[in-house]
């Protein structure tokens, strides 16, 4: 296989590149990434340039995308603007990347008859009540609540429309919250870890009752690879590892694991429109394609993630000061 990974220098995308590099040694990977603030070429260090080619470019550049797609077998589309707070302060980049970028890729794979897997989020479904026993399934109606989730919902609909109307060979996955190495420090888990490492109290939105369904990024990568190879064209698969935890519990687990008092954090005003609970039912993926998560011990995965950030200060410190300054403003 000769594949393109859009957004392959970002957090989830780069972890997928490393996963494929290990698991499919006869594949060639082309990474297409615009290297916005959340992309980092250091995420691809150590990979053989004979097997991994990096292309610096934007997925909205139609000529570039077309020229790459025609010479590859498949596109795995991770590239996205993905941070809720940023979408509330400046929605425009989310429309450009998540909608126009996805449209550009769809037109290229349509023209050249190539396979597409579109990576999306569970946030397109909105949220669940804390006392609701239900979880998201592939039949859950879309109900996005932020510019970020609305544009990801729109990109999903574009993929489905191009599959139905033009016969594009596409699958879609919606995944719960990822954690692990290479995640930008604006995100919840690495932000708390790096605050503690720099000697500051981490901050928690509201009461911290909001529940997220955590999955290690390695499990997300293995699931996407499974869908790429075994998934049925036109189908959507939800990816989750039964990792529901509220934010208060997670921040207290981080503090405890780092030798701090579990209550040593600051409550701050909640985010507008903050979704209460996400929960994924991945039965379809497990039963139909035989996928199972490997990282089922959240505490162990969290401690390994803390160790990675402790050992890789040179990776995250350049982005840390800018991120905190933005939040302070």
Q: Which of 81, 122, 156, 281 is catalytic?
A: 122
Pairing of strands 74-77, 52-56: unpaired
Q: Which of 33, 58, 81, 123 is catalytic?
A: 123
CA distances from residue 65 to 32, 77, 107 in whole angstroms, order as listed: 9, 12, 9
CA distance 101 to 315: 28
Q: Could you confirm whether 281 is annotated as catalytic?
A: no
Q: Which of 78, 125, 148, 237 is catalytic?
A: 148
CA 245 to chain centre: 18
Q: Could you confirm whether 235 is annotated as catalytic?
A: no
Q: Could you confirm whether 122 is annotated as catalytic?
A: yes
Tokens of 50: 């004979």
Closest CA to 122 of 201, 9, 239: 239
DSSP label at 259?
T
DSSP 171-237: EEEEE--EESTT--TTSHHHHHHHHHHTT---EEETTS--EEE-EEHHHHHHHHHHHHHHPPTT-EE
Q: Which residues are catalytic?
A: 122-123, 148
């Amino acid at each position: 296989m000769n594949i393109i990974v859009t957004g392959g220098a970002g957090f989830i995308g780069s972890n997928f590149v490393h996963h494929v590099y290990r698991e499919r040694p006869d594949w060639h990977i082309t990474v297409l990434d615009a290297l916005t603030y959340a992309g980092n070429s250091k995420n691809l260090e150590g990979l053989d340039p004979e097997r991994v080619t990096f292309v610096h470019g934007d997925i909205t550049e139609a000529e570039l995308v077309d020229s790459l797609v025609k010479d590859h077998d498949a596109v795995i589309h991770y590239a996205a603007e993905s941070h809720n707070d940023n979408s509330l302060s400046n929605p425009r980049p989310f429309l450009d990347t998540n909608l126009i970028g996805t449209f550009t890729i769809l037109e290229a794979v349509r023209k050249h008859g190539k396979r597409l897997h579109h990576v999306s989020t569970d946030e397109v479904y909105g949220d669940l009540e804390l006392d609701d026993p239900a979880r998201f399934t592939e039949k859950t109606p879309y109900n996005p609540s932020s510019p970020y989730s609305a544009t990801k919902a729109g990109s999903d609909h574009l993929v489905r429309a191009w599959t139905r109307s033009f016969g594009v060979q596409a699958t879609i996955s919606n995944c719960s919250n990822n954690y692990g190495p290479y995640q930008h420090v604006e995100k919840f888990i690495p932000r708390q870890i790096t605050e503690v490492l720099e000697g500051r109290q981490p901050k928690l939105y509201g009461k911290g009752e909001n529940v997220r369904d955590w999955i290690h990024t390695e499990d997300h990568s293995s699931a996407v690879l499974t869908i790429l190879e075994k998934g049925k064209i036109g189908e959507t698969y939800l990816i989750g590892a039964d990792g529901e935890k509220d934010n208060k519990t997670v921040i207290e687990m981080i503090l405890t694991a780092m030798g701090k008092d579990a209550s040593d954090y600051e409550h701050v005003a909640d985010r507008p429109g903050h979704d209460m609970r996400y929960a994924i039912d991945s039965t379809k993926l497990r039963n139909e394609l035989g996928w199972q998560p490997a990282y089922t011990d959240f505490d162990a995965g969290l401690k390994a993630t803390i160790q990675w950030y402790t050992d890789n200060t040179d990776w995250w410190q350049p982005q840390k000061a800018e991120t905190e300054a933005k939040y302070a403003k």
